[in-house]
């Protein structure tokens, strides 16, 4: 079981550490709204990764041919959703700045921890590459792949723990970033910069597919 946990941890960090558009958006949201909302968002991402790890060990190889035809539409959907959220955040930041209200921690967007959890869960679920990644890892391990219910559960829990710890670290970074922004101009600059980065990463998500 220990080997399965370690394998799950390595797999979870492998999929979580490369920071893409979702990670950038997580940092930006946390900087704007605070730790509790950022933690909710982080756990939403981790839940999606854990769910895909579960699907992989439960028969991910059989899901690959099913998911392949919808990979491109889902990737486009994910990119469009992220781009829309980024543009909306930038627009809200500009409007608040003009109204003189950007000095507060929240820029006017009501985002509770529960809502952040659901939003980031949905965004991450739109990326079926995650289940294919986990399935490929499970198949690559051959005879040492988790086959018993206990080992499979240990693998999934390891992947979930790895993803959650990394996403929470990103949220912590966003919290620290938010605390350093004491002026309206600094908050506006960060909001616009993060929105631009998210759009670029979203476009890259589609281009690399």
* pLDDT of res. 29: 87
Tens of pLDDT, residues 15-53: 787 767 788 889 888 888 889 999 999 999 999 999 888
- DSSP sequence for 91-140: HHHHHHHHTT-TTSSS-S----HHHHHHHHHHHHHT-THHHHHHHHHHHH
* Residue matched to tokens 């109204």: 99
* pLDDT of res. 102: 43
Contact present, 63 and 136 (Cβ < 8 Å): no
User: Could you list the residue range(s) of the whole structural domain that residue 109 is in?
Assistant: 2-207
Domain count, the chain: 1
Q: What is the mean pLDDT of residues 116-137?
A: 80
Contact present, 63 and 131 (Cβ < 8 Å): yes
Tens of pLDDT, residues 81-108: 778 877 877 777 677 667 665 444 444 4
pTM of the model: 0.73
């Amino acid at each position: 079981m220990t080997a399965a946990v370690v394998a799950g941890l390595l797999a979870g960090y492998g999929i979580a550490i490369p920071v893409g558009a979702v990670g950038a958006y997580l940092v930006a949201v946390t900087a704007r709204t605070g730790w509790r909302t950022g933690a909710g968002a982080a756990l939403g991402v981790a839940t999606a990764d854990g769910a895909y790890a579960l699907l992989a060990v439960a028969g991910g190889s059989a899901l690959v041919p099913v998911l392949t035809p919808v990979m491109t539409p889902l990737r486009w959907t994910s990119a469009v959703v992220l781009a829309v959220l980024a543009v909306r955040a930038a627009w809200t930041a500009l409007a608040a700045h003009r109204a003189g209200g950007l000095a507060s921690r929240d820029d006017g967007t009501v985002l509770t921890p529960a809502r952040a959890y659901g939003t980031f869960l949905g965004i991450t679920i739109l990326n079926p590459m995650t289940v294919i990644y986990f399935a490929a890892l499970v198949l690559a391990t051959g005879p040492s792949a988790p086959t018993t219910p206990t080992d499979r559960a240990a693998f999934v829990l390891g992947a979930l723990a790895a993803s959650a710890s990394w996403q929470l670290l990103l949220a912590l970074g966003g919290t620290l970033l938010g605390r350093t922004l004491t002026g309206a101009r600094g908050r506006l600059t960060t909001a616009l910069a993060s929105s631009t980065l998210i759009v670029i990463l979203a476009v890259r998500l589609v281009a690399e597919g």
